[in-house]
Amino acid sequence: MIRLWPGCKLFALLGLTIVTLSSQQSLAQREMLDRIIAIVDEDVVLQSELDARLLDIRQQAARANQPLPPAEQLEKEVLDAIILENIQLQFAERASIRFDDDTVNRVLNSMAEQNNMSFEQYLAVLEENNVYLQTRDQVRRQLTIQDLQRGLVNSRISINEQEIDNFLNSEMGREAIAANYLLDHLLIPVSGEDSTEVKSAKLRYAADLSARIADGIPLGPLKQQLSRGAEFPITGTDFGYRRAEDLPRLFSDLVEDMAVQDVLGPIEAGNGFHIIQLADKQGGTEQIVNQTNIRHIMLTPNEIRNEDQTLAFAEELRQRIIDGEDFADLARQNSDDASSVVAGGDLDWINEGGMPPVMESVIDALEIGNISEPYRTNTGWHIAEVLERRETDLSREYSRGQAENALRNRKFDLELQNWLIEIREKAFVEYVD
């Protein structure tokens, strides 16, 4: 469900109309009772808006078996929420925040999936209940308000370096940025009744399984296969995603040094021989990033140089560089990339995944010092050279970024409430009897 703005104790009930699918009777009532009930700055609130929202809330409360406040109090709180929404939408209009039909359709498709329907089936249900246009409008309004809040409220929040240091040194901070590990686990049990020969055979069997997994057979599928005909009985525990300290002590000190798909075992314990494979890892502060230092020349077709002429010029520049002319000089004289032209086309160090897909595929295949063939992106034709590659540890920057995000999230709701109070107090609102 789309996240609405906090700020009203009836927030959970002020959801999208798509959940309620209002009846035709309610639409008739809206037409009969339509009149202005409040003036809000340059806009108005209609009786039909209030009635529709009240009907939706009552229907949702009835389905959830939730109590509601007295009718007069409910009406006042809902009207206040509509007024606050109206003020925010006027802010968004002045800031030119808009969402196109494709974005709305993606949200509706997500709603359809949550209701176990196809997109077409969901739209048919909305049409059948005469709420299709209402639903699209409410989705667009909620997206707009969410985007407005994210932009304006975040601009009011400041996080200083001391706050980040304090958070990282706190228990809460360590928990917030701790990694979660997903372990695949296999155990060949050993009992006190096993002879020395049987224990040795089980150890050899465990070592063989560990080697097979390390050679590329994933532990998960292998465990299922072996459960139907293993040389010795095997078991395994589904740990789910856990932090290292929440795993059995036998594994907790090992997983932090494992990379995804790494295998360890046999690990001997009192109950048998264990094999573990790190299937996945989420979060954590370790961030070793592949970086590439490249430079390029970008040529964009224009009114005096068409597509074919631009490609031909790129090929000419490439050959001139190969013949000995300086790449940087030619970039300064000819490149249409304003961000790199002064630096002779140098884009500095770029993280893996930080380039457009077409460019990344070309750069990945390019040897250091070689000049690429001309390639096309949505900005024009390019030739590029890889100057250097390296691995960089960005763990410190990443952990501090994670801490800043956590602190920002903690401050967001309070700052949002303050902002909503401010804009409500500054707005002109007149109730019409």
CATH code, domain carrying 89: 1.10.4030.10
Residue 18 has pLDDT above 60, yes or no: no
DSSP codes of every residue in 59-72: HHHHHHT-----HH
Do 371 and 321 form a contact (C-beta atoms < 8 A)? yes
Whether residue 389 sits in one domain with residue 403:
no
pLDDT of res. 233: 82
Q: For the chain, how many structural domains are there in total?
A: 3
At 25, is the secondary structure helix, strand, or coil?
Answer: helix
Q: What is the mean pLDDT of residues 257-266?
A: 88
Whether residue 86 sits in one domain with residue 37:
yes
Residue 29 has pLDDT above 80, yes or no: no
Q: Which of 84, 139, 75 is nearest to 416 (CA)?
A: 84
pLDDT of res. 230: 66
- pTM summary value: 0.56
Determine which of 160-169, 211-220, 359-368, 413-422 has the lowest per-residue pLDDT on average.
211-220
| Strand arrangement of the beta sheet that strand 241-242 belongs to | 241-242, 180-189, 272-282, 263-269
pLDDT of res. 24: 45
pLDDT of res. 180: 85
DSSP codes of every residue in 289-308: EEEEEEEEEEE--BTTB-HH
CA distance 178 to 339: 37
Whether residue 142 sits in one domain with residue 127:
yes
Whether residue 373 sits in one domain with residue 398:
no
Whether residue 48 sits in one domain with residue 167:
yes
Q: What is the mean pLDDT of residues 86-113?
A: 92
Whether residue 150 sits in one domain with residue 18:
yes
The parent domain of residue 10 ranges over: 1-177+394-433
Whether residue 258 sits in one domain with residue 117:
no
Whether residue 339 sits in one domain with residue 213:
no
Whether residue 165 sits in one domain with residue 59:
yes
The residue ranking higher by pLDDT, 19 or 206, is 206
The residues, any chain, with a CB within 8 Å of residue 371's CB and separated by 6 or more, are 318, 321, 322, 327, 383, 384, 385
Last residue of a domain, one of 224, 251, 282: 282
Whether residue 223 sits in one domain with residue 138:
no
Whether residue 190 sits in one domain with residue 170:
no
Whether residue 170 sits in one domain with residue 30:
yes
Last residue of a domain, one of 282, 298, 330: 282
CATH number of the domain enclosing 224: 3.10.50.40
Last residue of a domain, one of 258, 282, 306: 282
pLDDT of res. 316: 96
